[in-house]
Amino acid sequence: MLSLGNSEGTSGKDVSGEIIIVKSMEEYDKLSTDQVKDKIVFFNYPFSQSFVETFRGYSDAAKYRVTAASLTAKKGGKFAIVRSLSSAFDDVPHTGGMRYEDKILKIPAIAIGSTTADELEALLKMQKVTAKLNSNCGMKGEKLSHSVIGEITGKKDQSVIVVGGHLDSWDVGEGAHDDGAGIVQSIEVLRTFKKLGLKNNHIIRVVCFANEENGVKGGIQYGKTAKEKNEKHLFAIESDAGGFAPRGIALEMDEEKRKQIKSWTGLFLPYGVYNFEGKYSGTDIYPLHDMGVPTAELVPDSQRYFDIHHTEEDTFEKVNRRELLLGATTMTQIIYMIDKNW
Ligand SMILES: [Zn+2]
């Protein structure tokens, strides 16, 4: 098992009880307080394999990870077990952010791998099962941290184009795809401009955002600072979906700008980049988007990302150098075009 991000532990004490299983929110809602009291609730909602884009399967199942603890606490349960948000058929548990509701007792929430979840469900059909949890995890308060920023000045004006990813990762694994890849690709954009001697019109700024995973703190602070300094941002793009072969760029902006970028499709096709239909952008640049800045996100192939996302398996050797660089190339291409045309 693996504790979820933000979860409290058991302060070194054993907490045990009988496990009850639910397969959906609807099923849980039907349970009375009496049925849940002093139990351990196992939310076994499977990651849907039917979406071609795996991010949709992730969004579909995410509410279980985020809300299981407080839902269980409200009905007097002892702790919550959640089936990992995983597209893999293995036994690796996936962590990730969860949230406690205000004024609700903070009980632990843990994730288990897919095969353990299946086995536990099969066992529960035959007999009563009890579980014992002893965990020393917990939130120890906040510490100051920093986003890391580098830029090359523009020859025309002071307006800014941002390219970024997030520096932090969950404590298991190395965070190689989430989001080491995005950091390397963003730095690579600047390096390419310098190496090729491209003279950019606007400031091109790499932002390695601090603490995306637990509250988007770096992204929110960046937005605030940009506002305070009255900096004009032309465009921001993030890479935070894994370092896999790029397939497209999601565009969150007005129709006119979308149309213009889509008219450049021919420049991207040689890299296998064809999908400009997504209308969302990265978490860290949301504060910029809310200030009216046109934003975008690199869209890599998503088939393997949720096999390893937020696990000890998200390691350096899982990143393919060629795929990683194609993503950097794609971001460099769009930034070059926007720098020339906006
Ligand atoms: Zn990420």
In a domain, 139, yes or no: no
Average pLDDT, the chain: 97
β-strands 148-152, 109-112 pairing: unpaired
Closest CA to 14 of 139, 135, 138, 137: 135
Contacts of 269 (CB under 8 A, 6+ apart): none
The residue out of 110, 133, 156 marking a domain boundary is 133
How far does the centroid of ligand 1 lie from the alpha carbon of residue 207, in Å? 14
Is the domain of 120 the same as that of 158? no
The token duo for 42 is 């196992």
Q: Are 3 and 108 in contact (CB under 8 A)?
A: yes
How far does the centroid of ligand 1 lie from the alpha carbon of residue 123, in Å? 35
In a domain, 209, yes or no: yes
Is the domain of 213 the same as that of 173? yes
How far does the centroid of ligand 1 lie from the alpha carbon of residue 212, in Å? 7
In a domain, 153, yes or no: yes
Strands (DSSP E) along 51-202, which ranges? 79-83, 109-112, 130-133, 148-152, 160-166
What is the sign, positive or negative, of the torsion defined by CA atoms of 10, 13, 14, 15?
negative
CA atoms of 88 and 300, how far apart (whole Å): 18
Angle at 139 between CA 207 and CA 25, to 5 degrees: 90
In a domain, 138, yes or no: no
What is the pLDDT, as a whole number, of residue 108?
A: 98
In a domain, 171, yes or no: yes
Is the domain of 126 the same as that of 154? no
How far does the centroid of ligand 1 lie from the alpha carbon of residue 156, in Å? 33
Rounded to 5, what percent of the chain is helix, strand, coil?
35, 20, 45
How far does the centroid of ligand 1 lie from the alpha carbon of residue 286, in Å? 13
How far does the centroid of ligand 1 lie from the alpha carbon of residue 165, in Å? 8
How far does the centroid of ligand 1 lie from the alpha carbon of residue 175, in Å? 8
- The count of C-alpha atoms lying within 13 angstroms of the C-alpha of 111, restricted to the half-sphere facing its C-beta, is 30
Q: Are 42 and 154 in contact (CB under 8 A)?
A: no
How far does the centroid of ligand 1 lie from the alpha carbon of residue 179, in Å? 5
Is the domain of 125 the same as that of 161? no
What is the pLDDT, as a whole number, of residue 39?
A: 98
In a domain, 25, yes or no: yes
How far does the centroid of ligand 1 lie from the alpha carbon of residue 30, in Å? 34
Is the domain of 81 the same as that of 215? no
How far does the centroid of ligand 1 lie from the alpha carbon of residue 199, in Å? 31
Coil, helix or strand for 315? coil
CA atoms of 240 and 238, how far apart (whole Å): 6
The residue out of 133, 159, 176 marking a domain boundary is 133
Is the domain of 205 the same as that of 85? no
How far does the centroid of ligand 1 lie from the alpha carbon of residue 132, in Å? 32
Q: What is the pLDDT along the chain (342 residues), one digit of tens a residue?
A: 999 999 999 999 999 999 999 999 999 999 999 999 999 999 999 999 999 999 999 999 999 999 999 999 999 999 999 999 999 999 999 999 999 999 999 999 999 999 999 999 999 999 999 999 999 999 888 999 999 999 999 999 999 999 999 999 998 999 999 999 999 999 999 999 999 999 999 999 999 999 999 999 999 999 999 999 999 999 999 999 999 999 999 999 999 999 999 999 999 999 999 999 999 998 999 999 999 999 999 999 999 999 999 999 999 999 999 999 999 999 999 999 999 999
Is the domain of 241 the same as that of 317? yes
Range of the domain at 176: 148-341
How far does the centroid of ligand 1 lie from the alpha carbon of residue 197, in Å? 31
What is the pLDDT, as a whole number, of residue 68?
A: 98
- What is the arrangement of strands in the sheet containing 148-152, beginning at the earlier edge strand? 148-152, 203-209, 160-166, 233-238, 295-300, 246-252
How far does the centroid of ligand 1 lie from the alpha carbon of residue 240, in Å? 5
CATH code, domain with 76 = 3.50.30.30
What is the pLDDT, as a whole number, of residue 306?
A: 98
How far does the centroid of ligand 1 lie from the alpha carbon of residue 102, in Å? 26
In a domain, 181, yes or no: yes
In a domain, 141, yes or no: no
- What is the arrangement of strands in the sheet containing 2-3, beginning at the earlier edge strand? 2-3, 109-112, 79-83, 40-43, 15-22, 130-133
Number of domain units in the chain = 2
